[in-house]
Chain A
Amino acid sequence: MAATAYYLTRLRNLFAVVMLSGVYSLFAAALYMVLDAVDVAFTEAAVGAGISTVLMLGTLSMTTDKEKVRKKPPLTALILVFMTGGVLVYGTFDMPRYGDPNAPIHQHVANRFIERSGEEVGPPNIVTSVLASYRGYDTLGETAVVFTAAVGVLIIIGRSKDRSMPNAKAVRRREEDDDITHEPSAKEKEDASS
Chain B
Amino acid sequence: MTEKTLLIVVSKILIPLILLFALYVQFHGDFGPGGGFQAGVIFAVAFILYALIFGIRTARKVIPSAVTRTMLALGVLIYGGTGVATMLMGGEYLDYNVLADTVKGGQHIGIFIVEFGVGLTVSSAMITIFYTFSGHVNAELPFRKGDKP
Partner-B contacts on A (CB < 8 A): 15, 38-39, 41-43, 46-47, 50-51, 54-55, 57-62, 65, 119-125, 127-129, 131-133, 136-137, 139-140, 142-144, 146-147, 149-151, 153-154, 157-158, 160-162, 170, 174, 177, 179-182, 188
Contact of A123 with B108 at beta-carbon distance under 8 Å, contacts A61-B142, A144-B76, A146-B121 already known: yes
CB proximity to A under 8 Å, residues B16-42: 25, 29-38, 41-42
Contact call B115/A46, Cβ cutoff below 8 A: no
Q: Which residues of A contact B138 (CB under 8 A)?
A: 174, 177, 180, 182, 188
Contact of A51 with B41 at beta-carbon distance under 8 Å, contacts A57-B143, A58-B142 already known: yes
Contact call A123/B30, Cβ cutoff below 8 A: yes
Q: Mark B112-136, 1 if CB is under 8 A from A, else 0.
A: 0011011001101110111111111
Q: Which residues of B contact A129 (CB under 8 A)?
A: 107, 111
CB distance from B20 to the nearest CB of A (A): 15
The yes or no answer to B53 lying at the interface (CB within 8 A) is no
Partner-A contacts on B (CB < 8 A): 25, 29-38, 41-42, 44-45, 48, 52, 60, 65, 69, 72-73, 75-76, 79-80, 83, 94, 96, 103-104, 107-108, 110-111, 114-115, 117-118, 121-122, 124-126, 128-140, 142-147, 149
CB distance from A126 to the nearest CB of B (A): 10
Nearest residue, chain A, Cβ from B72: A150
Pairs of residues from A and B, 10 with the lowest C-beta to C-beta distance, nearest first: A123-B30, A58-B133, A150-B125, A161-B135, A38-B33, A136-B94, A122-B104, A46-B41, A132-B111, A158-B132
Give Cα A38–Cα B34 distance, bound, in whole angstroms. Answer: 8
Contact of A182 with B139 at beta-carbon distance under 8 Å, contacts A51-B44, A143-B76 already known: yes
Contact of A147 with B45 at beta-carbon distance under 8 Å, contacts A42-B38, A61-B147, A121-B107 already known: no
Q: Which residues of B contact A42 (CB under 8 A)?
A: 25, 33-34, 38
Q: Which residues of A contact B80 (CB under 8 A)?
A: 140
Contacts A39-B38, A174-B136 given; 13 further ones with Cβ under 8 A?
A: A15-B149, A43-B41, A121-B111, A122-B30, A123-B107, A136-B114, A139-B118, A144-B76, A147-B73, A160-B136, A161-B135, A174-B138, A182-B139
Contact of A147 with B35 at beta-carbon distance under 8 Å, contacts A140-B79, A162-B65 already known: no
27 examples of A-B residue contacts, CB within 8 angstroms: A15-B147, A42-B34, A42-B38, A43-B37, A47-B37, A50-B41, A54-B130, A55-B129, A58-B133, A58-B137, A61-B147, A120-B107, A122-B107, A123-B111, A124-B31, A128-B111, A132-B35, A133-B107, A133-B111, A136-B94, A139-B118, A143-B36, A150-B124, A154-B69, A160-B135, A180-B139, A182-B138
Q: Which residues of A contact B35 (CB under 8 A)?
A: 39, 127-128, 131-132
CB distance from A140 to the nearest CB of B (A): 5
Q: Which residues of A contact B65 (CB under 8 A)?
A: 162
B103, B111, B128: most-surrounded residue (chain A CB, <10 A): B111
Q: Which residues of A contact B29 (CB under 8 A)?
A: 123, 125, 128
Give Cα A39–Cα B147 distance, bound, in whole angstroms. Answer: 34
Give Cα A132–Cα B121 distance, bound, in whole angstroms. Answer: 15
